[in-house]
Amino acid sequence: MAIRIAGWQKLSLIDYPGKMAAVIFLAGCNMRCHYCHNYHILDTRANCLDFAMVLAELKKRTAWLDAVVVSGGEPTVSPTLLPILRQLRSLGLLIKLDTNGTRPEIVRTVVEAGLVDYVALDIKAPASKYRDIAGLPIDKVLMTAAYLRSQKRIPYLFRTTVSPRLTVGDLQNMGQTIIAGAPCWQIQQCRTVGAYSDAEIRQMAESLKKYALYIVVTGV
């Protein structure tokens, strides 16, 4: 059966730290974040693009691409994630996985099988607000975070989209209880009604510097 994906971006300079990357999007997600900017691919029926065609296009670009990012949706809910990663690995490019962390067993599998070189884990909110913002509890996400901290195979980062439902106190709570000591915490602007201004996002990020080795701000 042909593998299908929701879409792809031929070049990104921001999705893989320090690398020129293509981005592949897999449809389907088990979360329902109120600010989701990929809401049009939450249903798996959005997987309508032939992956073989995309793979052929990527092969033509390996001379100047460094990496490919597998994003979504939520890639770990896709039954075709592993075969996609295996085929991408054959290109000799670095591979980054973007995940909401709700399937820690899949994250562990792809890391330990050597199928990814980098993981970005979304931390949506403090535990008390997780279900309100993401639609699911935080338990599995914490398991994924703990695994990433424990392994030494690949680099990782945590990232948070600053929903208008989050306060500075919420972010500091996350910093203390979840993020503390992480190599990198990426703070992302939220493009939705009531979002904080770019200046407010930068100010928030400044107050969070003690929780991670690096704080990176995107979308402002």
Rounded alpha-carbon distances, angstroms, from residue 30 to 27, 41, 79: 11, 12, 13
What pLDDT is attached to residue 137?
96
Please give the CATH superfamily to which domain 4-218 belongs. Aldolase class I (3.20.20.70)
pTM for the whole thing? 0.96
pLDDT tens per residue, range 91-145: 999 999 999 999 999 999 999 999 999 999 999 999 999 999 999 999 999 999 9
What is the rounded (10 degree) CA torsion for 143, 218, 73, 144? -10
Which residues, in sequence order, are CB contacts of 164 under 8 Å at separation 6+? Answer: 190, 192, 193, 194, 195, 196
Q: Nearest-CA neighbor of 149 among 178, 169, 128?
A: 178
pLDDT tens per residue, range 17-66: 999 999 999 999 999 998 988 888 888 988 999 999 999 999 999 999 99
The first and second tokens of residue 164, run together, are: 């208008």
φ/ψ (deg, to 5) at 156: -150, 165
Query: Is pLDDT of 1 > 70?
Result: no
E-assigned strands of the chain? 4-5, 7-12, 21-26, 49-50, 67-72, 94-99, 118-122, 156-161, 182-188, 212-218
Domain boundaries, the chain: 4-218
Q: What radius of gyration, in Å, describes the C-alpha atoms of the chain?
A: 17
